[in-house]
Amino acid sequence: GENVEQHPSTLSVQEGDSAVIKCTYSDSASNYFPWYKQELGKGPQLIIDIRSNVGEKKDQRIAVTLNKTAKHFSLHITETQPEDSAVYFCAGPSGSARQLTFGSGTQLTVLP
């Protein structure tokens, strides 16, 4: 099945700086890569996703890049704000796309 590794496990940035979280995956057939944000005490929420037919996708301050050759994808958050502080998870499909395998999560802290 799919194996997704995520780095770093914790990340602190100053407000206004950029944050980058990276994930690698093992299954070259994987074609869908979502990112979820989990705020304290809540369930994760989808913030952006990318499919394997594109290399980059942007949504305001958030972008995701995908390198299929190297089998890695990254989340980029620009102009970070305190409300960006949360745990972020990457994921990839496995089991004929019937389930998602999640990375281990990154605790992002934006310092004022």
Residues at the interface with other proteins (CB under 8 A):
1, 6, 9, 31-32, 34, 36, 41-46, 49, 51, 89, 93, 97-105
Least distance in angstroms from the C-beta of 16 to other proteins: 28
Tell me the C-alpha to C-alpha distance, in Å, between residue 75 and each of 10, 41, 95, 108.
Answer: 14, 22, 24, 12
Residues 6+ apart with CB under 8 A from 43: none
Nearer to other proteins, 73 or 89 (CB): 89
Pairing label, strands 106-111, 10-14: parallel
Nearer to other proteins, 75 or 112 (CB): 75
Beta carbon nearer to other proteins, 81 or 104? 104
Neighbours of 62 (CB within 10 A): 16
Q: How far is the CB of 28 from other proteins (least distance, A)?
A: 15
